[in-house]
Structure 1
Amino acid sequence: MTALINVVGAAVVDSLSAPALLLAARRTAPPQFAGMWEFPGGKVEAGESAESALQRELMEELGVTVRLGEELQSGSTSGWTLNERAAMRVWFAELTGGEPRPLEDHDELRWVSLDGNEVLELEWIPADFPIVRALLERVATSAL
């Protein structure tokens, strides 16, 4: 049996204490996901903690540093199921340095409102859509 691929993602929000906006990233590849929106992040490398991997990925993909908040719990220790081979853990994050730019894997970044349906109107990668719904519920119920 092949080991599960560990992926990390960031729900980059305008404020960890009172989130109103979420930064969504539009993929350029692979072809089946090109043009769809996702949480920025990537694979955890050998010997790397999930949190360190997320910091590294955000610098590589967006050119930013962040302060990580709480993890958006999926109910599984491995995280949110992406497919039969991969699962993603997602943290709330707030910018601490840099201006987000689509440097790798994305062609557009967009701040979308967490109040109303704007975030739900984006065409999310199917595996990320349940995470978006959980994020909206989490934001609606309490401060991070």
Structure 2
Amino acid sequence: MDAGRVSGGLVVAAAVVDDVTAPRRLLAARRSAPDQLAGRWELPGGKVEPGEGPVAALHRELHEELGVGLALGREVEGPLDGHWPITAALRLRVWLAVVVSGTPRPLLDHDELRWVGAGDAGRLPWLPADLPVIASLGLRP
């Protein structure tokens, strides 16, 4: 599906893991803003800007939010033409990724980062749109 034709908008996120071929740990980011999302955990990322490709947007967002460079693995395909629903107007695309430069730190819209394994991931209060994505990752204990 052409990302530019998604009605309303496209959001991209990275499931930052320790190993894209056999992930055991996932980097969770706790929102600090806006107020209605503060305290909830998410996969880091953001909206694709007009004229920007999804992969370029993902790299830009993770650099802005966490100060890192990434190597992308496979796309984690969702149930709606490969996308995951956020709202009726917003769709999410997610890639597995590993950090290749920088050390993740909460720079923008987050106040905490945490590496979580399979057992711990399920205990966090995730944003609803991220829950099915995280369940699909199949983190290994």
DSSP-derived class of the 2:86 partner: strand
TM-score by structure 2 length?
0.90
AA at the equivalent of 2:92: M
Q: How many angstroms apart in 2 are the aligned matches of 1:123 and 1:55? A: 25
1:123 to 112, 118, 125: 125
Residues 1-144 of structure 1: matches in 2 within 5 Å? 3-77=7-81, 79-114=83-118, 117-136=119-138, 139=139
Is the contact made by 2:27 and 2:113 (CA closer than 8 Å) also made in structure 1?
yes
| CA RMSD of superposed structures (Å) | 1.5
Aligned length: 135
Superposed displacement of residue 127, structure 1: 1.4
More displaced 10-residue stretch of structure 1: 7-16 or 72-81: 72-81
TM-score by structure 1 length?
0.88
Is the contact made by 1:78 and 1:89 (CA closer than 8 Å) also made in structure 2?
yes
Is the contact made by 2:34 and 2:109 (CA closer than 8 Å) also made in structure 1?
no
More displaced 10-residue stretch of structure 1: 102-111 or 78-87: 78-87
> 2:3 maps to which residue?
none
Is the contact made by 1:65 and 1:97 (CA closer than 8 Å) also made in structure 2?
yes
- Return structure 1 stretches of 4+ with deviation > 3 angstroms: none
AA at the equivalent of 2:127: I
CA distances 1:92-138 after superposition (whole Å, capped 9, x unpaired): 00010000000000000000013xx21000000111111111112xx
Superposed displacement of residue 77, structure 1: 2.6
Identity of aligned residues (%): 50
Q: How many angstroms apart in 2 are the aligned matches of 1:9 and 1:127? A: 11
Superposed displacement of residue 78, structure 1: 6.0
